[in-house]
Structures are given as structure tokens and as C-alpha cells.
Amino acid sequence: MSVNELFKQDLKVINMGLESFYEELRSQDVDTIHVDWKPAAGGDKKMASLLGRLKGL
Amino acid sequence: MIQSIVRKNAYYDSVTLMLISREMKSIEGVEEVLVGMGTELNLDLVRNLKMFDANLEDVTPNDLFIAAKFNDELVTMEQLVNSFDEQINRKKEASAGDYRPPTLRSAIDHLGGANLVQISIPGQYAAEEAETALKAGLHVMMFSDNVSIKDELRLKQVAVEKGLLMMGPDCGTAIINGVPLCFANVVSKGRIGLVGASGTGTQEITVRIDQLGEGLSQVIGTGGRDLREEIGGLMMIQGIEALLKDPETDVIVLVSKPPHPTVEKKIVDLVKQADKPVVIDFIGGDAASIIAAGATPCVSLEDAARKAVALLRGEKVEDFDGFDAPEEEIEKLVSDAASTLAADQKYLRALYTGGTLADEAIKYLGENYPIYSNIPLTPDRALANLGGLEGHICLDLGEDEFTRGRPHPMIDPLTRTEFFKTHVDGSTAVVLVDVVIGYGSHEDPAGAVAESVNAARERLLAENKDLVVVASVTGTDKDPQDLAQSITTLERAGIIVMPSNAQAVRLVGRIMDKIGA
């Protein structure tokens, strides 16, 4: 969807990270969902990068 | 006593944890407490606070830890852990019932028709998630920083190829289809579109447009590095092109620090072809190329708002470098302020939470006064070169050096409260502050400033001295904190509230001239 098409739609937001941003969107009745995000591979960078490469396959 | 506990595989976001840490610090008997995820940065902080113990040796970034230094006659570790649980459960209860998918992909499936992903996870993970979003055809607003410039370029290239917005990394402000994202104000819908590479600069322009009775069609953020040579202004160009095509936008405003010359040329070339009026504030940048492109340059953020409104209304466009109030009123304000100061009160303390607002103050006041800062005009004016407090100081308290392990001062006023205590003394003449309200910001920043000012005045009373305090509020009457309420709170504390940052800065300049600072 191009930027100009986005301008014509209702905003539907996926929030990842700070929960306060999600709560503020919700308080404005914006259609939104919060991802229960956790670092991949328990924060192990090496493992996360391997997983990232696998996902890219 | 020093103790710590670790909870394996329990993830909470940094702002939530930092705010809880702060609450726990106020428990009687607690000397220091840090609640965080086991990242290198957090563990460094624990070591610096001398609270590292054997428990923390195997902690990973996916584990939560609580480390505390406390008087065990007054409080126990168990009580501290209970306090943490109570606070986190309260948060959970507030959002009970919402389904929270574990990954971005499952969120895309679940929400259906999602069109934008807002990302504020730690920087090292942010690029990968943004790429997933863009490849799924979603626009991205990325608040996360610490993303490499290489990743930023790659993400923006993908976005341009797919015709999407990649706002950020390090993008704090946008308003898309009337919805404020991250740190933004509630402004009227209108016919002025804006593309901004600077967060509080964008906020200041949008609120002044709102106050002048007009509104915004779209406000697109780019992140602060977009106009660097490496990125080439990819998102600013994408934003300008979208606003040129947008039938709801009649006037376009661009705001950024001065771009790299090659990037400036690209933007100016695009603006030359524009069939809509364009107002450009390359803060402190050269006006010549802007004029040559047929666009309108500005002398301040407020001036950008006024010119955009004038162009929209077909009114005469002229520089605004004065005050809303008549000259006699300003002169009286200046004289009254100066008369409250003792002869040895000479120095400025500008304590800003908004980086672009601080930048605007330094650029204006720095023309006539040596202003020491963490974002100095020239390297010799770096704060470290001042040593003590005998000089004019203007700080951007949102910079990394002041925010390690604590929220940005727009979210939590604590950093500025501390600077009021350490940097405002009997040699201080004028204190200059910004009060940024709107979504993302603290629930009552004006109240926190008022409290700090009252406490500082009480301290100075012992020396039989007073202070002059000048503020401006970046906000609208539709913001959750309410503009009028914020102004009343400040004025009740004897703070002079000006209608914009530019006017607050100019008034401070006049007071400094008057007292021969």
C-alpha cells in the first residue's frame, strides 16, 4: 500500500516495545495490538543471528 | 545490605522497569534499587552502583533482575520484590483481556488490515523486525535508536522500493491520519503537511499551527539521520512526494538540522518543481538555496508555523522575530524581572527536555553570549570546558549522557529536577525551560517544573535572592495534559510563560541584556 493510499485509510497499528505507546493508542480508540515481544533466542546475539538467517531462507 | 534476585525469561520494556525502579527507590530504607533486563548496559549500571553480586553472573538480556542496596532494619528484599510484583500486576490488570501475540507475524495475522508497525524495542533487534514489517507491506514508525546507519539505509531503500514510510530509526514524532504517534500533540486536522527530521522541532511547529487556528493534514517523521550524506534524505524525499500528491495538503513544511550539502541539493531540486508552497526550516542553515528554489526560509520554529499559515491563507509572508505582546508590555516584563535580581546574579540556566528547542535557544542566544552546553555551537563551548557554574549554560537533557538507565526527561522529569538542584544557585539570574506536553510525555511536566522552581526559590531565600524563570509550553488545548492547565500551574509558581520557545528565548535575551549578563 503506497503512502497516499495509507492517507485514505483508518490507521491500524501493531505496537512492539514500550507498552505506554500501546496504551496511548488504545486510549484514543485507535485499532491496535501489542506484540508480547521478547528478544529472540533469549537475547543470545549469536543464536539470534543464526535464527535470523534461517528465517531468511 | 546488597542483594539481588533474577527471574529467568521474564521480559518487560525498559520504560516500565525504569519507572518501577523509581517508585521502589522511595520505599523507606532503600538506598538504591535497579530493576532491569540483564543487558550489558544495565549490568554496567549495577557495577557502577556497586550492587553486583554472584546472583547476577549468569543473567541474560532475557532475564529480569532486581538489585538493591538497603537498610535491612527498615526493609527486606522480600518486601521489595513484593512491591515490584504489585506494581507489575497493576499494569497487567489494566490491560487484562487483550490478546498479545508473541511475534510480529502473528500480530499481522491477528489484527487483519494492519497498516503501520510502531517499533520501540531495543535497537539491536529493531532492524530485523522493521524489515519483516516492510516486506509484509506495512509502514514503519521506529522510535528505537542504536540502529546502525547501514541498517537504516537498507531499510529505507526497501521502503522506497515498496512505496512505504520508514520513519526512523530514532523517530519520536509523527501524526498520520490525525493519530499522534509516540511523542506528538493532538492538533486540528487541516491543510498543512509536514516532514520533520527533528522531534520537538516538529512538535513546536505543529502546536503553533494549531494555535494560529489552522491544522495539519499529515506529519511525517524521518529520524534525525535522514539528511546525512549516507542516507541521502530518502524518507524526506518520499514524504515530500507523498504530500505533493496528497489532495488534502495545500502547504508543505520541512524541518531539520542543516542537511549535508549533497542532500540539501536533492531536496531543493525537488522543491523547485513543487506546485505547492514549501516552507523550510533547516534550523540555523543557509537561506540562500531555499530562496533560490522558490521556497520560504524561516528564522525560528514558530516563524515556520506562522509562514505556513500565511501561505495557506494567501496573506503576506514576513519574518516574525518579535513578540505577540506589545513592546511596552515586554519592556515592563524585562524591567520587572531584572529588578528582582541581585548584582551578582548573572548567569543563564536553560534546562531543556527537547533537543531541537535547546538547539534553537543556543543558536539565538549564542550570537551574543558564550553559552556552554552538551550540544555546543563550537567545541570550545563544551560544558566540560566551563568546569563550575560561573557561566551561561543551556542543556539538552534528553541526550544519551543524561539518560543512561533512566527514561527520557520528557517521560520522567527526574533528570531536570536534579539539575535544578545542582545547577541553579545564587549566581543564577534566569532559568529557561521547555514544557512539552502531548502523547508520550509525562502526565504533568508543568507541575514538576513548578515544584523545582518553588524548591529553588526556597533555597535562595536564605541568601535573600529570587530567580527569574521563563517557560513556554509546547502543547495544545486538546492534549491529555491540557495547555491552559499547564500554563496556570506554571504562572502560579511565578514563572513567566511565553507563547512559543522562540519568544521565551528572545525574552531571556532581553533580560540578559538588561542585567548586563
- Sorted by where each starts, the structural domains of chain B and their CATH numbers stand as 2-94 (3.30.70.100), 101-170 (3.40.50.720), 173-321 (3.40.50.261), 327-515 (3.40.50.261)
Q: What is each CA distance from B309 to B249, B302, B479, B501, in whole angstroms?
A: 12, 11, 21, 18
Q: What distance, in Å, lies between the first and last C-alpha atoms of chain B?
A: 49
- Do B101 and A37 make contact, defined as CB atoms within 8 angstroms? no
CB contacts of B100 in chain A (<8 Å) are 33-36
CB contacts of B13 in chain A (<8 Å) are 17-19
Give me the residue from A18, A31, A33 closest to B13, CB to CB: A18
Q: ipTM > 0.95?
A: no
Q: Tell me how far apart the alpha carbons of residues B121 and A16 are, in angstroms, rounded to a whole number.
A: 6
Give B470's strand partners: B432, B496
CB contacts of B39 in chain A (<8 Å) are 43
> Which chain B residue is nearest to residue A45, measuring alpha carbons?
B124
Give B37's strand partners: B64
> Which chain A residue is nearest to residue B162, measuring alpha carbons?
A2
CB contacts of B104 in chain A (<8 Å) are 14, 16, 35
Question: Rounded to 10 degrees, what is the CA torsion of B106, B112, B118, B121?
Answer: -10
Q: Tell me how far apart the alpha carbons of residues B347 and B47 are, in angstroms, rounded to a whole number.
A: 36
- A15-54 pLDDT tens trace: 999 999 999 999 999 999 999 998 865 555 555 555 555 5
- B328-386 pLDDT tens trace: 999 999 999 999 999 999 999 999 999 999 999 999 999 999 999 999 999 999 999 98
- Taking the domains of chain A in order of start, what are their residue ranges? 9-56
Mean pLDDT, 10 residues at a time, chain B of 517 residues: 92 86 90 91 90 92 92 94 90 75 93 95 94 97 94 98 97 97 97 97 98 98 97 98 98 96 96 97 90 96 98 97 97 97 97 96 96 95 89 95 85 94 97 97 97 98 96 97 96 98 98 93
Q: Tell me how far apart the alpha carbons of residues B284 and B201 are, in angstroms, rounded to a whole number.
A: 13
- Do A38 and B95 make contact, defined as CB atoms within 8 angstroms? no
Q: Tell me how far apart the alpha carbons of residues B247 and B230 are, in angstroms, rounded to a whole number.
A: 32
Sign of the alpha-carbon dihedral angle for B165, B168, B174, B178 = positive
What H or E segment, with its residue span, contains residue B79? helix B77-94
- Do B99 and A33 make contact, defined as CB atoms within 8 angstroms? yes
C-alpha neighbours within 13 Å on the C-beta side of residue B138? 28
Q: What is the reported pLDDT for B93? A: 74
Instruction: Give the closest residue to B118 by CA, choosing from A35, A39, A7.
Output: A35
Q: Under a CB-based contact definition with an 8 Å cutoff, are residues B242 and B214 in contact?
A: no
- Do A35 and B118 make contact, defined as CB atoms within 8 angstroms? no
> Which residue in this structure is represented by grid cell 486510549?
A27
CB-based contact, B120 to chain A, within 8 Å: yes
Residue of A5, A14, A45 to mutate when probing chain B, most B C-beta within 10 A: A14
Q: Tell me how far apart the alpha carbons of residues B217 and B226 are, in angstroms, rounded to a whole number.
A: 22
Q: Under a CB-based contact definition with an 8 Å cutoff, are residues B167 and B158 in contact?
A: no
Query: Is the per-residue pLDDT at A56 higher than 50?
Result: no
> Which residue in this structure is represented by grid cell 500551574?
B489
What per-residue string of b and e applies to B247-275 under the rule 16 or more CB within 10 Å gives b?
Answer: eebbbbbbbbbebeeebbebbbebbeebe
CB contacts of B15 in chain A (<8 Å) are 18-20
In angstroms, the separation between the Cα of residue B299 and the nearest Cα of chain A is 31
Q: Which amino acid is at B389?
A: L
Instruction: Give the pLDDT band (50/70/90) at residue A57.
Output: very low
Q: What is the reported pLDDT for B135? A: 97
> Which chain A residue is nearest to residue B10, measuring alpha carbons?
A38
- Do A40 and B125 make contact, defined as CB atoms within 8 angstroms? yes
